[in-house]
Structures are given as C-alpha cells and as structure tokens.
Amino acid sequence: MNEKYNHLCDTYNTELFFELSADLLFIAGFDGYFKKVNPAACQLLEYSAEELLDKPINYFIHEDDRDITTQNRNNIKAGIPLLNFENRYVTKSGDIIWLSWTSMPLDDLELVYAIAKNITHIKKMEEERNTLLLNLQKINKDLKKLTYTASHDMRSPVNNLLTVYSLLDTSKIDDEETFEYIEMSKKATEGLKQTLDNYVDNISHNESLLVKSEPLSFEKSLQSVSDSIKSLIKSTRTTLVYDFSEADTIQFNKSYLDSIFLNLITNAIKYANPEVMPIVTISSKKKHDITQLIVTDNGQGFDIKKVKNKIFGLNQKFHNNPDSKGIGLYLVYHHVMDMGGSIDVQSQIGVGTTFTINFKN
C-alpha cells in the first residue's frame, strides 16, 4: 500500500512540477520531434501542445540556427549532454526569442529531457550595448580625425610664420623692446609648432590605445611652457617660483606634462586676485613610491565644498571670466588619470588654490 501511495505521489509531483514550472520543459525524441511540452513553452512560443508535437523541432527554430542545432542534437544522441546552448526560436506570430538550453539524453529510451530559459531580454541588452559601443567607437574615430586634421593643418601657417621670422634681419632693429617682443613671439610660435607636432605623434601612437611615456624633466617642461607664454607672464607681471630639487624627473607623457603646466599656470593668471600680483609656486616631492607635483597660486580661489564634485568636469566655470571655457582642468584631470595618477585640490576664496598631483613612480 505504501509503495503504491509513494508511486502515485511521485507521479503526481512530477506532473505538477512539469505543469507549473516557469521554465520551458521539453521531452524530445531522437527522431527530431517533441514528445511532451509544458504550458510555459506553449505560452512563450504561442503554439498549442498539439501543434508543437505535430511538426519537426526544426520547424520552430530560426533558419539561421537550424544547422548548429542539428549538430548539437547529434552530439546528444552520442551521449554528450548539452549545457548552456543558445539558439533562436520563432513564435507563431513571428517574434524571435532566444533560448538557453540544458539537455540530457536517455539513450535506452531515445529521449532527451531539456530545460530552456528565455534569455531574449539579455540578448537585447547585449545588442543595445554593442550598438552603443559601435557608436562610441565611431564618435571617437571622428573626434580623433578632427583633432588630427586640425593639428596637422595648423602646422602649415605656423611653419609659414616661422619662415617669416627666419627672413627678418633683427640686426637692423635698434629698439630693444621691439626686438624682445619679436623674440618672444618667435619662441611662442616655435612652442606652438612643437605642441602641434606632439599632438599629431600622440594621435598616431594612440591607435594602439597606449599613451607613450618617457623620462621627463619637470624643469625643462616648465621652461618650455613658460617660454611659450612669456608675453602673457610678462604683461600680467606674474612671478613663477619653482623648486624641483627633491624630484626633478618623472616617467610621463611629454604632451600631457606640458599641458598640465600650461593649464595650471594660465588658470592661475586668468583667475588672479586683482588686488595682488600673481605668484605661482611649483615644487615636487618624493613620498614612498609616489612623486608629487604641487602647484599653488595666490588667486581668487573658490569654495571647495560647493564645487569639489564639479571642478574637473567639462565646461565647468566658477568665475565670471569671458575667456573661461571650462576645459583646462578637465584636460589636466584626464592627463593625470590616463597615466594612473591622482589629483587633489585645496582652495580658499581670496587666498588661492593648491593642486597636488600624484604620479606613480
């Protein structure tokens, strides 16, 4: 009596599990036909159980997936279980759904017991992600092309200007101030040419997604940048004070380091306190496996609590200056982060701002 009761319970529970399961449950034959399907399968595929059992399994499979499905079905017949196999089915109304299969063969009965999960939503997310990545790649390629074109094409007028300087006979210039301005202008133009050359080189190297780095001297980089903006420094009566005695060299990208100095110095001048002459103090420090570059100015400063999360954002402006574009600090931040470093900011209104850049040695 107990054995009969247990058998009835097992049969009842098996049938109940088959009927109530939210996953798609199938029993298929080695002949390529379904032998039994559960209501979840009928509901998703929009066919009745009779319709699903009446036609070959391949009838319901997307035509592009029939060959690979047949190959895997033959493996099952050979006694090889099928795990996490994905293919597409077509519903009665024509919709395409993705299923992930786990199938186990019963050789003596020539049957296959299979469970399928609907993964259509996952596939749609993957497709959207891939589409987004393709769009981003195209945008990045277009931006790179634009930057390359601008940097490359701007070199021609710069070279022409340098040719003009080479033709000038400065020995005939008696006025010392005029001579000095011409020399400053020439150096600024030479600096611009070098910057454009570096940009073009970097864009070419970046095809491999690797940013070139090399041993660099803080002092030489600062000197090159200060020469390129010498007239700005002089006209604003800005004082540059620097000390690299503790750490003079860093392994970094040359264009990035020049850009960091250029943007931090010009920002200090741009946002100078009108009541005092601009002073920019630059120093370096060694701390364990980190080299620090510290740039301090005595400018207007800002409320760090209000703008801390925005300071390195694109197009962020904190002062009413018509020359401000909100790009400089964005570039500084990404130059540092791209090379594995970090940057910290301290500022106080009316006192000034200190940027501390941490380079990994």
**225 vs 223: CA distance, rounded Å:** 5
Q: Which domains does the chain have, with CATH numbers?
A: 2-118 (3.30.450.20), 121-210 (1.10.287), 213-361 (3.30.565.10)
**15 vs 13: CA distance, rounded Å:** 5
Q: Three-class SS of residue 323?
A: coil
Tokens at 225, concatenated = 């940048």
Q: What is the largest CA-CA distance in the chain?
A: 125
- Tens of pLDDT, residues 98-140: 999 999 999 889 999 999 999 999 999 998 898 888 888 887 7
Residues 6 or more apart in contact with residue 197 via CB below 8 angstroms = 155
260 closest CA partner among 181, 338, 187: 338
Q: Specify the pLDDT at position 119.
A: 94
**68 vs 88: CA distance, rounded Å:** 11
The pTM of the full predicted model, rounded to 2 decimals, is: 0.53
Instruction: List the beta bridge partners of residue 243.
Output: 283
- Tens of pLDDT, residues 200-251: 666 555 554 456 789 999 999 999 888 878 878 888 999 999 999 999 999 9
**190 vs 262: CA distance, rounded Å:** 15
Sign of CA dihedral 38, 44, 49, 52: negative
Contact 241, 184 (CB under 8 A): no
